[in-house]
Structure 1
Amino acid sequence: MNAEEVYPEIGRILAADLGSLTGNGRFSAMPPSSLHAWSLPEPDKAALSAYGLPGPRTDGLYGVTGDFQPSGEPELTQDGARFYRLGGYAGVRHLAEEGTGRVVLPVPTSAEVHPQLAARFPDRRTFKPVNSSVTAWVECAWRWHWLVPLITEQWKQAEEAQLAAWRDAAGGAPDAEFADFHAPYRRLCRQVVVAFELIDPAAVASEESFWTEVISER
């Protein structure tokens, strides 16, 4: 599928209702029965109950997957705030703050990384915002679940076209051209960023935002 063909498919995924993206629950990892005891806004609990989260991927790509804590009490406490474990991305937990429903991920501390990298990380636990609510996070997670293979394929095609142009030039081909092969891929990423901003402005509030980095990390 080339870039022109993939635009409509990405638009369809971004506009689809979540019920269709979850296969009406067939593809969902559902929260535990203890969800009713979690102190989260009712719309957030309703979103989790209705849609759950994507299960583990089998294509080698990264997405948010469900990994719910089983208990009714928050799993992590820091500085008076308490957090429920919902799932993860590439092995990093995603947590919902008790009361607010704000979704964050724990940033590794200097003691948890290789000593050569320690200077880049804080001395104590901090949290990186992901979404302003569980409801928005569920929506972004499901849309990304279906978007990531399409976007990754466009990146691969751009890389292959660029490599072929380099090979032609190295071989002395007189008509070798160096176009911006990644421009269509970047437009697709921008389309997704704009759509996620409509879902939740906090999701892509800066270049360092979780979803901004995930969408354009290839």
Structure 2
Amino acid sequence: MCVCPVRLRDRNRKHSVRCRRLWLPTGRRGHYDLLASGGERAKPVRRDAGRPRRAAFFCDRAAVPGSRVGAVIGQWHLPESDRSALRLWGLPDGPLLRPTPQAGSRPTLTPNVAGEPERRLISADHRLYLLGVYGADFDANLSIRVGAVAGTGRVMGIRARPMTTDDLAEQLRAYHPNLYHPAVCYFNASVAAFVEVAWRWHAAVELLRAHPDPHYTAPLEEHEQHHAEVERSCATFLTRMTSLDPTLDDRDLGSLWVETITDDL
């Protein structure tokens, strides 16, 4: 049985999540319970030559920080725990995150502090280390570049400019007359927390996709039960991720993870 586990450590114990071929307990209920648990239960890791293949766990095009980038990370002005998380685990590729870590030692992202929403999150003189791209990338002005703030390690999303009603298709503008997505959004209090939540969500989405919606001919009750179980599991998953990074519960920060986990599936 080929499994590709990602081991991420809490302070007191290890949890294992898998980036593909996730172990599913017998029955749909077990599947949702595993998702809600944050991916804690897993079979033992297959070992090669008596040791886990730490560098090989980045399967499915997951980001390295490859040899060059990995070496540069040591020069980034971030807390050691954040640099260590990037060197050891990197970031998963998908479902919305595409890792593209910068190769230079100086932070390359500059925030556009366009108004009060952005000022609440970041200062204009802050600079960030590029980690990747999040979400759609069809417009360079609106794409979210994920970056870590130099010095603190706080993980933010940076757009070139805010997204407004004018960016929507003309036929949709009447339905969203006051649309405003700031040029800066929040993810996590640290890179280490971002790495952990990203990998766990990557594994959770694999679980959900392994059990799609019931067939359209299924009774309405079956559809309702399915969606209720997904919502319950995602809510519990978010609660567990909030225990890893309590800032996810801060509505003033409005972590994009909350929207991703509860609305974007």
TM-score bracket relative to the smaller structure: 0.7 to 0.9
Change (3 A) 1:63 1:25: farther
Q: 2:129 matched to which residue of 1?
A: 84
- 1:29 equivalent to 2:68? Answer no
- Structure 2 residue 255 is the aligned partner of structure 1 residue 209: yes
Identify which of 114, 123, 127 aligns with 2:184.
127
- Which deviations, in whole Å up to 9, do the C-alpha atoms of 1:152-197 show, x marking residues without a partner? 455x325x46x6335xxxxxxxxx8885442111111122111101
Per-residue displacement from partner, 1:82-122 (whole Å, max 9, x unpaired)? 01110222243211111110001124424793474785226
Higher helix share: 1
Structure 2 SS opposite 1:164: coil
Instruction: Indicate yes or no: 2:94 matched with 1:64.
Output: no
Q: What is the 5 A alignment of 1:38-53?
A: 38-53=76-91
With normalisation by structure 1, the TM-score equals 0.74
Q: For residues 140 and 15 of structure 1, what CA distance do their matches in structure 2 show?
A: 16
- For 1:72 and 1:192, the matched residues in 2 are separated by 35
* Alpha-carbon distance in structure 1 between the residues aligned to 2:38 and 2:109: 38
Residue 101 of structure 1, aligned match among 153, 165, 173: 153
Q: Does 1:144 align with 2:182?
A: no
Name which of 210, 226, 236 aligns with 1:191: 236
Given the superposition, is the C-alpha separation of residues 110 and 137 from structure 1 closer, same or farther in structure 2, using an over 3 Å criterion? closer
CA contact (8 A) 2:92 2:198 kept: yes
Is the 8 Å Cα contact of residues 38 and 204 (structure 2) preserved in structure 1? no
- Number of aligned residues: 196
Q: Residue 32 of structure 2 contacts residue 230 of structure 2 at CA under 8 Å; is this kept in 1?
A: no
Per the normalisation by structure 2, the TM-score is: 0.62
Contact persistence 2:126–2:149 (CA under 8 A): yes
Structure 2, unpaired ranges of 5+: 1-23, 47-51, 112-123, 138-143
**CA distance in 2: counterparts of 1:187 and 1:84, whole angstroms:** 35
Root-mean-square deviation over aligned CA pairs: 3.3
Unaligned runs of 5+ in 1: 167-175
Cα distance change, pair 177–119 in 1 and its aligned pair in 2 (3 A): closer
Q: Provide the identity percentage.
A: 29
